[in-house]
Amino acid sequence: MRCSIVALPVLAAATSVVAQAPKPGEDGKYTISSSGIRAQFIPYGATLTNLFVEDKNGEEVDVVLGYDDINYYPKDPGHPVYNSIPGRYVNRIGKGKYTLDGTTYTTELNDGSNTLHSGTNNWSYRVWNVTDHTEDSITFSVRDASNSSQGMLGLVEGQVTYSVSDSTWNIKMEATSPDEKTPLMLTHHTYFNLDAFKNPDTQKIWNHTLYLPYSKRYLVADDGALPTGKIGTAEPGGIDDFFSEPDLFLGHARSDPKFAGNCGGGGACEGYNGYFLIDDAPKDAVVVKLSSGFSGITADLRTDQLGVVVYSCNWMDGTADLKSTQGTKANRKVVRSSCVAIEAQDYVDGINHPEWGRVEKQITGPGQKYSWESSWTFGTL
Contact 42, 76 (CB under 8 A): no
Which of helix, strand or coil describes residue 26?
Answer: coil
Cα 293 from chain centre? 24
Which residue has better confidence, 204 or 14? 204
| pLDDT, tens digit (0-9, with 9 covering 90-100), for 226-235 | 999 999 999 9
The reported pLDDT for the residue numbered 19 is 53
State how far the Cα of 190 lies from the Cα of 346, in Å rounded to an integer.
Answer: 16
Residue 160 has pLDDT above 60, yes or no: yes
- Which helix (H) or strand (E) is 50 found in, with range? strand 47-54
Residue 13 has pLDDT above 60, yes or no: no
| pLDDT, tens digit (0-9, with 9 covering 90-100), for 263-310 | 999 999 999 999 999 999 999 999 999 999 999 999 999 999 999 999
- Pick one of 2.70.98.10, 3.40.50.2300, 2.40.160.100, 3.30.360.10 as the CATH number of 30-68+85-182+372-380: 2.70.98.10
Looking at every residue in the chain, the average pLDDT score rounds to: 94
State how far the Cα of 131 lies from the Cα of 293, in Å rounded to an integer.
Answer: 39
Q: Domain limits of the chain?
A: 30-68+85-182+372-380
The reported pLDDT for the residue numbered 17 is 45
State how far the Cα of 302 lies from the Cα of 264, in Å rounded to an integer.
Answer: 29
Residue 7 has pLDDT above 50, yes or no: no
Look at residues 34, 58, 63 and name the one whose alpha carbon lies nearest to residue 48: 63
DSSP string for residues in 295-313: T-EEEEEEESSSEEEEE--
CA 322-328-334 angle, 5° bins: 30
List active site positions.
Answer: 189, 343
The reported pLDDT for the residue numbered 334 is 97
